[in-house]
Amino acid sequence: MLGEEIKKLVEEYYEDTIKHRRHLHQYPELSFQEKRTSDYIANQLASLGISFERKADTGIIAILKGTNASLHAPKVIALRADMDALPIQEMNDVAYKSRNSGVMHACGHDVHTASLLSVVRILQRLKDEFSGTIKFIFQPAEEKIPGGAKKMIEEGVLEDPSPKYVLGQHTMPELQVGKVGFHSGNYMASSDELYITVKGKGGHGAMPHLNIDPVTIACQLISSLQQVISRMAKPQVSSALSFGKLIADGAANVIPDEVKIEGTFRTTDEDWRQRAHEKIERLVYSTIEGFGASCEFELRKGYPVLFNDNVLTKEMKAHAASFLGRENVVELDTWMAAEDFAYYSKERPSCFYRLGTGNKEKGINSALHTPTFDVDEKSLKVSIGLMTYLTLKKLKENDRD
């Protein structure tokens, strides 16, 4: 059976996958700086005799064609892995700890890349099983707006050949190792960034009547903007507006001339997203000008809502249950984090699912984007095997279309 054959090959390449993952973890690189990572991927593909080309500076696309001539109407499926790291100082005491100070794979992109390299090897071994084409996308800069996916698409990653479907996976430490999760429809939020400079008139803290205090104005603005979520958005629409940076560089008795504010706006509804942008902008200017101050305002539009195609996701979930057991496949809630995989999902029917990487008994339960994030490496068996299985099942189904 196909599933058992894949599982045997997973065992054969498991130790190599761990080596890939640990090497990548030791040498993390920030968005669009993944030169060493890109070269490592290229060398691995070249050793397998897999043709590839570079896109978006550090990105790589590889192509593998099935050789089963008895099957007809071959289709193209794309598999995507991101490969950039985060500006975080790792605190784990492990042999494969990051050697690049202040940079860490704290979001599991090392897992995604190492897994896809092994998926390439297994599918190459099984190329007599299918007649379609598989496009492997090793993508840079998922962590930084405007996102590597956008640039890859602009440079033709979804053309020549054009994939009919795109699959991707992401680590999930809240989900125990051995399990995977799916969510149909709008799964992950859009992500926009707000940059506001409130410009007032500074002076002595003992004489506030002579000043235009940007600190109190900034506090009022942050409080007022929450009404965009609590009073302007439909309760049924998921939205979040958070401010994580406020710089008022005065002193205990000095009111500064200006205050800088940075925040993020997220939602799972694209129509509301556009209306919310207008409401936020109006409220920013009216509030600040109402206090006699002025401002600089930038709303930096980020990733769109990630939509998992309903039909494709239902199929992938059923195949996952067949491969892993129904008890190991869970239904996920909407996630307010953002992902530039959303750009692929706007262009092609896509499925972005989650890989359980946590293990409470081993103390592996730190959240994504934290300095103690790690994974139970047994999850690599699931990540390799499932993506291979889903790909071949979909190609075989398509051959019968």
Question: Which residues on neighbouring strands pair with residue 307, listed in sequence order?
Answer: 186
Q: Is the peptide bond before 161 cis (omega within 30 degrees of 0)?
A: yes
Contacts 24+ apart (CB under 8 A), 314-322: 314/184, 315/394, 315/397, 316/167, 316/182, 316/351, 316/353, 316/390, 316/394, 317/182, 317/353, 319/389, 319/390, 319/393, 319/394, 320/180, 320/182, 320/353, 320/386, 320/390, 322/3
> Which residue pairs, CB below 8 angstroms and at least 24 apart, start in 324-328?
324/178, 324/179, 324/180, 324/382, 324/386, 328/178, 328/179, 328/180
397 belongs to the catalytic site: no
Cα(113)–Cα(94) distance, integer angstroms: 20
**Of 82, 110, 142, 258, which one is the catalytic site residue?**
142
Distances (CA, A) of 319 to 80, 236, 391: 19, 31, 10
Question: What DSSP assignment string belongs to 46-74?
Answer: HHTT--EEEETTTEEEEEEE---TTS-S-
Other Cβ atoms less than 10 A from the Cβ of 254: the count is 13
Q: Tell me, yes or no, if 154 is annotated catalytic.
A: no
* Type of residue numbered 175: L
> In degrees to the nearest 10, what's the CA dihedral of 302, 115, 3, 174?
-60
Are 83 and 139 in contact by the 8 Å Cβ rule? The answer is yes
**Which of the 8 DSSP states describes residue 162?**
P
Of residues 114, 112, 152, 193, the one with CA closest to residue 32 = 152
Helix spans in 126-213 (H): 148-154
- Burial of 298: CB neighbours in 10 Å, binned 0-12, 13-18, 19+: exposed
- Annotated catalytic residues are 84, 142
